[in-house]
Each structure stands twice: as C-alpha cells, then as structure tokens.
Amino acid sequence: MHQSKSKPESRLAAITFFAKTHPGDVCGSNGLPLTPNSIAILGRAQKLKELKHPHLCQYLDFVRGKHERTIVVSEYFGTTLQDKSRSVLIEPLVVRIFYQIVCALKALTEHNLVVHNLEPKHVLLDDCDNVKLFNYGLYHMTRCGDYVPFPIGNVRYMSPERFLGSKNNIKSDIWSLGMIVAELLLQTKFWPNLKISNIARKILSFCQTNNVFERIAREHNCLERYEQINGELRILIENCLSVTPAKRPLPTDLFTHEVFSKDIEAYAYTEPPKPTILLYRCPLEQIYYWWQLAGGDVQGELKKEGLIRSEAPILAIPQLVCLNGKIVGPKRSQSYLMDDRVVPLKLNNLYEKLCNQPAMAYFPLIHSPKFPHNFGAGMEQLPLVIRERDIEYQFYRVRLFSRLLKGYPYTSEMIRKEAAKDIPPYLRGPIWSCLLDVIPIGSYGKIDKFTPTSTDRQIEVDIPRCHQYDELLSSPEGHCKLKRLLKAWVTAHPQYVYWQGLDSLTAPFLYLNFNNEELAFLSLYKFIPKYLQWFFLKDNSAIIKEYLSKFSQLTAFHEPLLAKHLASINFIPELFAIPWFLTMFSHVFPLHKIMHLWDKLMLGDSSYPLYIGIAILKQLKNTLLASGFNECILLFSDLPDIVMESCVFESQKMYECTPKSVSHRFHVLRETPLTEFDLTPDVTLSHLQAEMCPRISANDFTSLLHYAPTDMCALDLRSAVEFSHVRVPHSINVPFVAAQLAEPRLDALGVSQLVEMLQGRIVICMSNKHEHEFSKFLVECGVQRVCVLHKGFNILHTIEPNILISN
C-alpha cells in the first residue's frame, strides 16, 4: 500500500473563551475558596469527547490556560455553511443539509443535550456535502452558560422563548434549524443591516404572527420564492418556526418525515472515500494525541493567531483594593473579550514524522508471525520518560495496543506480554482493566448509588480532600463521579465497609476512565480482591497485622541491616505503612507517580506491593540508617520525593528473586489449595510477629534445589552426626551452638569462606529447632535473603522423589 504524498489538510481546530471569574475573595459555605469555573467546565465537557457520530464534530480536548481561559479542541474541516451559502444552494442540497442537521440534533437529544448556538457558522460541510455540527457542546459544558460571562447563541437564529429566558428545550434548536433552512431556501440573509437589539425586537414581535416563515419572506421581498418552495417542505419549515415551542416538531418527528424519506438516498450521509493518507484512517483522538507528541501546542497556535495575547501584568494592577476585597482598577482588557475565531491546528509536522511509516505499523497484524509487529524494538532500553514522549514509539505502541484491545479477552496473554515492556499512557485505562481481567457486562448501571447510607458523610468529607490538585478530580463532575463509584462499591460489597483511603484507591481508576465510570468501577472491583483481599472488612486488624508483619519479614529478607536498625529504634510499620498498603500508595503519591507504580503492580501478584514498600525504604536507606525514631517518623509523615523509576525497578527485582512462599500470607485470594509442602495455616500471626525471617516452603525449597541450585545455600543446623547420616546435597553443616551467637559476627561460626558462600544466594536455615534464633543472628550480621525451612529438616524426609543423600 502506498501513501499519496499529498499534503494533509487540517482536521483539528481550537476555539477559546474565558470562564467567569469568581469575584475577589468569595468563599463557599464551608469557608473554602470556590472551584474555578474553568475547572467546572473542564469536568462537564469530558462527556462530549464520547460523542462519535457522523454528523457531529468530535471533541478532543479541553485545556485550561491562565486567568480562567478555556480552550476547546475539536474536529474541524471542510467549509462552513456560512461560507457555502454565499452562492445559491439548490433545493435538494438544502433538504439534504436540513435532514443531516436533524440527524445531528436527534443524536444530541439521545444524550440529553441541546445546542442553543446553532447557526450556519457551526454547520460544516465536507467534500461529499455531509453535514457535521461544530461547537455544539458550548452550552452544555458551560452549564447553560452559567460559567461564562457572555450569552450563548447567535441572536439571529434564536427562538423567541429563549429571549424570555426559557432554556434546555430542544425545540429552541428546532427554531434555529428552521431559520437556517429558511435563509437557504429564500436565498437571502435575514435582517443583514439590523442591530442586534432590533433583531431581538423583531423576533419577539413574531409572537403575534401566525406564519413566521411567510412574514419573513414578505419582509424580505421573497414571497415569490417562498411560494415556489415544495409545499410539504414549506409547511415543515413553518412548523419549525411555530412561535409556540410545543407546536414545533421534535428531531425524531422530522427524522422520519416524508420530505426526507421519499428520497432518503439523496439526503443521507455519504460515506466519503477512504483517505489516502493512512494517518487519517486512525481515530482522530489518536491523531490529536500524536500531534501533541510531535510538538503540537494549542496555546502556541492560539498565540500565533493573536487569540492569546499577553499583556504586561502591571497594566492589570488594581488602583484600589477595598478591605472587603472589592477591586477598583483598569477594566479587563480587550483581550478578555469573547473572540469566536476558529484556529485550525496544522498537521504537517505530525504528517512528516509519520508518513514514512509502513502500513504494517499503522495496522499491525498480531497473529501472523510472518509480519512482525515489534516496530519499537530496541527502544525498550530507553528510559520510560523518553519512550513516553517519543512520537514514533507511542505511535507504534498505541496502534499495537488498539489492535490488541479489540481482540480482548482473546488477546489477554499478548496484552500482558506487551504491557510488561511498558504501557502507553494514552490507553492506560483500558489496558489496566484488561490486566485486571475486567469484562464489562453492564452491571454497574444496576447498582444503587443514590440511596442515602451511613457512610455518606465520610465519603462527602473525603472527596474534597482527594487528589484535588488534579483538574478533573477537583471538578464538580469529578466529585459526583467519585461519589457514585464509592457508593456503588460499598453497595456491591455488603461484607465490606468504607474505610478512609478507599477514595484515594478509587481516584486513579476514575482519573483514567473519567468517561467510562463502569470501567473505572469494574477495575476497582477487580483490583481490591487481587491486592487488598479483606482489607475492607469492618474488623480488618488480623489482615493488616499479618500484612505488616510480612512486610517486616521481607524487609529483613532483602535489607537486613535496615531491618535491624528499624527494629532497634522500634520504628514499626504500624506507624507509617498503613496508608501505604491500604491504598496501594495512592494516598501517598501524586497521580502521575501512581500511574507508573501501578503499571508494574498490575503485572504482579498480591505480594508485589510489599516489595514496593521495601523499595521505598531502600531509597531512603542512608537517611533512615542515620536517624533515630523521631527523624524516621517525620520523614514518612511528609514522604520525600521518591524516584519512581528506580523504585519500580527495585521492587521488580525483589519480586522476581523472592520465592513465592517467602511472601506467603494466609489472607489472600487463593486459586489453588495449599498442600502440606506449602506454608500451612498453622503458621499463625504470632509466629509471624515473633520470627524475624520468613519461612520458605518445602515445595519452593525443592524447586530451588532442582532448578536453581546456584541461587541457594542451605545451612543445616543439626549436629554433625545427624548431618553425616542424611543431608541435602551441597548443604553446609553449621551445628547450632548458642554461644556463637552472642555477637553479630559471622566468623564466630567458624566456617571458612562463609560470607562468600552466602553472598547473593537465598540462605535457607534448616533444623528441627533453633532455626529462628539462628536466622535472626544472620540478619543481624547483615546476611541478605535469609529464610527458614518451614516444618524443619524433617519435612524433607517425606518429599517424593527423595532429595536427600544418606550414608
């Protein structure tokens, strides 16, 4: 397949406006500052991104600039009806436009949206004369215009009742539609020379008129043309222009109307030819994403067009500030006024970056080994931040994952494999849900999220404190969504309760799936049993205690000296690690860090978070080792900057080299039952709390012995006599002598080259007694990866086939 080298025309455009600023120091009833209107707009606008319809321009992005500026990026192309109607349009084309606007309005009503700014400037036509509405979401995103200082809608096309304050009626849009079509049919622009106020007066004067269409035609000396219009069509327009909204037809009425249905072929959407440029065959939202990576900057484009002008701040300094916060000073400058210009975003740069990509990169074939799909191969070695900003790499990844996601759940394995390399931020939400084995089945809609419950107060005070630096989560829309998610989760789990922290845990899923609450919910729904089984029980103390004890043991396993120090100053995890684990770190890190952390977490099992905890300790090791209790606890009350990449790297390393049974906890969701060679339930919490080193199961022991004998070193603490009778191959006999353990010094054991033999290996202490004492001694000597064989040496006798050597 060859791509034509024709230059790409633009498909995207931006418009900008200012949201209303809150006056001075006004606070809400809680005494705290009000949410800026631009944030409220941002939250409301998100849902518009989901509207994908042939007659609607797709919304792509909403950006906040300085001083409450809001920028809207959306699809934009072709010609506006305003331009097109400068020459006369034949009647069939007018009917076609009429019909297609009806289709657009019908789609919007299905989403409970009204337009209220319908005018020819916002009707775009492509080369096949297909209509797409543009800027139809302004009224919705500004909550009926409440959030902006200017009125919405062009007076010329505004219905009489809108002047009287009526809102939110799709029938008002039908009037506008009627006016647009009437202008086209009469081939004239109405009241070209009237001032706005006079137009308004004119429209209101229609209230005494029976036939608005006819009257307008008469006033514009077009009665003849009016009479020539196909009778049915004329009546339809007259109905649309009924003064009483109730008499106007609904979009659904129009949609099936005879005027259109008799020649629907001519009026309905014409599928445009497939674009020759492959880039244009990709979803527009992906194109926009790459455009940004290719250096696209919306604010910069607006600046170039003079739509964002910066002025010397000194010019805005107030002359007088009253004690009540009132400001007297220069008026807002001209640059703050509404300017409805549309600024196209040029795609040349992006096109040049991607035009030489083979078709196979655009449409990877994932099931044919003949066509490799690893286009980014080699780049995996680059640091993650670089990969995430690299246009080519993200292009490959997004295309590949788009394909893989379409095949889910059949592609689960491949998704997992690719996700292990990295997860493209653009598709993180859906990819996470696949890693969590989510399959949406529409159950979310059925869960009660509204009945008041006793947890409501707690949820309500927690939400305004949850990741509020983020624009989406701090918007009123974000608050509503988070509340619904939390209530739904509580309702769906009668066995669990809301613990403070569940809000933080939910936030990342909402953040990634802001427009797909169900996916956010189901991801959370799956995430909790996988990593936090039973943590949300009303009495979770047994679970937390087990977890924290295991955390201490694993710290001793990987970081013996640190563990020794922390134990000596009594710096117990109860004092600092509860928020870490209860929220999987989502309460202690900002969202962007959680993303990278959870990217890896999702690929691990329920023990993974423990290693993240250790990796954090490890990163602060030097400070911790040099500090006493107070300094340590202060350090964690205000967690310093943790470098995520190395934290993730370290946790991954520890995760991979730790035998599963070493991280064993009783309170997990278990798929396969435990056998007598695993860690059996007789290891209780008090064992965990009393033993510094974790236990290893006989199963893990034997598989180490079989498959990785060089990764382990078995220390046999039994007497030399017992050892000579029967032993594990390559094990070292260190007969237990209590006196040797008085000082934490390895050479006291009298085994030559012991340090070297233990170095870098999993050290397994075996005995039928004393192994815990001994293992603690090793930890205090700084030996890494010390564990104890569960059930002692004797368990090895029962293993089949036999692994012991006897004399």
Partner 1 sequence: MATTARSGGNASGSSAQRPNGTQQNKNCQFKLVLLGESAVGKSSLVLRFVKGQFHEYQESTIGAAFLTQTLCIEDTVVKFEIWDTAGQERYHSLAPMYYRGAQAAIVVYDIQNQDSFQRAKTWVKELHKQASPNIVIALAGNKADLSNIRVVEYEEAKQYAEENGLLFMETSAKTGMNVNDIFLAIAKKLPKNDGANNQGAPAGRRLNDNENNRQTNNCCK
Ligand X SMILES: Nc1nc2c(ncn2[C@@H]2O[C@H](COP(=O)(O)OP(=O)(O)OP(=O)(O)O)[C@@H](O)[C@H]2O)c(=O)[nH]1
Alpha-carbon gap, residue 97 to 131, rounded angstroms: 6
**Nearest CB to ligand X, comparing residues 35 and 85:** 35
417 contacts ligand X (rule: CB under 6 A): no
Q: What phi and psi, each to the nearest 5 degrees, are found at residue 189?
A: -90, 130
Q: Is 298 helix (H, G, I), strand (E, B) or coil?
A: helix
The verdict on 725 binding ligand X (CB under 6 A) reads no
Cα dihedral: 424, 429, 435, 440 (round 10): -140
- Within 10 Å of residue 335's Cβ, how many Cβ atoms? 15
Q: Compute the distance between CA of residue 140 and CA of residue 327 in angstroms, rounded to an integer.
A: 31
Determine the Cα–Cα distance for residues 695 and 553; give it in Å rounded to an integer. 9
CB of residue 590 to ligand X, shortest distance in Å: 17
Pairing of strands 805-806, 69-75: unpaired
Amino acid of residue 30: N
Q: What's the rounded Cα separation, in Å, for the pair 766 and 733? A: 10
Q: Among ligand X, partner 1, none, what binds residue 582 when CB lies within 5 to 8 Å by partner kind?
A: partner 1
201: contact with ligand X by CB under 6 A? no
For residue 483, give both structure tokens. Answer: 């509340």
494 forms part of the interface with ligand X (CB under 6 A): no
Question: Per CB under 6 A, does 469 bind ligand X?
Answer: no
Of the pair 144, 461, the CB lying nearest partner 1 is at 461
Smallest distance from the beta carbon of 537 to ligand X, in angstroms? 20
Shortest Cβ 39–partner 1 spacing (Å)? 12
Among 31, 165, 313, 494, binds ligand X (CB under 6 A): 31
- Please choose which of partner 1, ligand X, none residue 748 contacts, taking the beta carbon within 5 to 8 angstroms, the exact cut-off set by kind: none
Q: C-beta of 391: minimal distance to ligand X in Å?
A: 41
In angstroms, what is the minimal distance from the CB of 616 to partner 1? 16
Site for ligand X in 512-551 (CB under 6 A): none
Residue 795 touches which of ligand X, partner 1, none (CB < 5 to 8 A by kind)? Answer: none
Q: Which CB, 149 or 464, lies closer to ligand X?
A: 464
Q: Using CB distances below 5 to 8 A depending on partner kind, what does residue 501 bind out of ligand X, partner 1, none? A: partner 1
Contact 665, 546 (CB under 8 A): yes
Q: How far is the CB of 599 from partner 1 (least distance, A)?
A: 23
Q: Name the minimum Å distance from CB 693 to partner 1.
A: 12
- Cβ proximity to partner 1: between 18 and 580 the closer is 580
Cα→Cα distances 723→476, 800, 805, Å: 71, 20, 10
Please state, in angstroms and rounded to a whole number, the distance separating the CA atoms of residues 711 and 418.
28
φ, ψ (nearest 5 deg) of residue 283: -60, 140
Instruction: Supply the minimum distance, in Å, between the C-beta of residue 356 and ligand X.
Output: 53
Binding mask 38-67 for ligand X (x = CB under 6 A): ------------------------------
Task: Tokens for 99, please give them.
Answer: 């019909």
**Contact (Cβ atoms closer than 8 angstroms) between residue 188 and residue 262:** no
Report the distance separating Cα 31 and Cα 265, nearest Å: 61
> Nearer to partner 1 by C-beta: 46 or 504?
504
The rounded distance, in Å, linking the Cα atoms of 259 and 236 is 8
Q: Where are the alpha helices (DSSP H) in 320-370?
A: 348-354, 359-362
Residues that bind partner 1 (CB under 8 A): 29-33, 458, 461-462, 464-466, 468-469, 474, 497, 499-501, 503, 538, 541, 545, 548-549, 552, 567-572, 574-576, 578-579, 582-583, 587, 628-631, 633-637, 689-690, 692
Peptide bond into 409 cis (omega under 30): yes
Q: How far apart are the first and last CA of the chain?
A: 73
Q: In this structure, how many other beta carbons lie within 10 angstroms of the beta carbon of residue 352? A: 12
465 lies in the binding site for ligand X (CB under 6 A): yes
Region near ligand X per CB under 6 A, out of 30-38, 592-600, 614-622, 755-763: 30-38
* Shortest spacing between CB 574 and partner 1, in angstroms: 6
Looking at the Cβ atoms of 65 and 464, the one nearer to ligand X is 464
**435-464 footprint of ligand X as x/- string (CB under 6 A):** -----------------------------x
Return the number of the residue (93 or 625) whose C-beta is nearest partner 1: 625
Question: Is 161 or 546 the residue whose CB approaches partner 1 more closely?
Answer: 546
- Closer CB to ligand X, 32 or 323, in the complex: 32
SS (H, E, C) 19-80: CCCCCCCCECCCCCECCCHHHHHHHHHHHHHHCCECCECCEEEEEECCCCEEEEEEECCCEE
Smallest separation, CB 343 to ligand X (Å): 39
> Do strands 123-125 and 343-345 pair parallel, antiparallel, or not at all (unpaired)?
unpaired
Closest contact distance (angstroms) between CB of 27 and ligand X is 8
Determine if 32 is a binding residue for ligand X (CB under 6 A).
yes
- Cα torsion for 369, 372, 376, 379, to the nearest 10°? 60
Q: Which is nearer to ligand X, 117 or 474 (CB)?
A: 474
What dihedral do alpha carbons 125, 131, 134, 138 form, nearest 10°? Answer: 150
Residues 6+ apart with CB under 8 A from 261: none
Minimum CB distance to ligand X, residue 540 (Å): 18
If the CB atoms of residues 31 and 165 are measured against ligand X, the closer one turns out to be 31
Q: Which is nearer to partner 1, 75 or 503 (CB)?
A: 503
Helix spans in 475-559 (H): 476-492, 502-512, 517-532, 541-558
Q: Among the candidate windows 27-35, 59-67, 274-282, 768-776, which touches ligand X by CB under 6 A?
A: 27-35
CB of 236 to partner 1, least distance (A): 54
26 binds ligand X per the rule CB under 6 A: no
Residues near 631 by beta carbon (within 8 Å), at least 6 away in sequence: 623
Cβ proximity to partner 1, 200 vs 537, nearer residue: 537
**Interacting residue ranges for ligand X, rule: CB under 6 A:** 30-32, 464-465
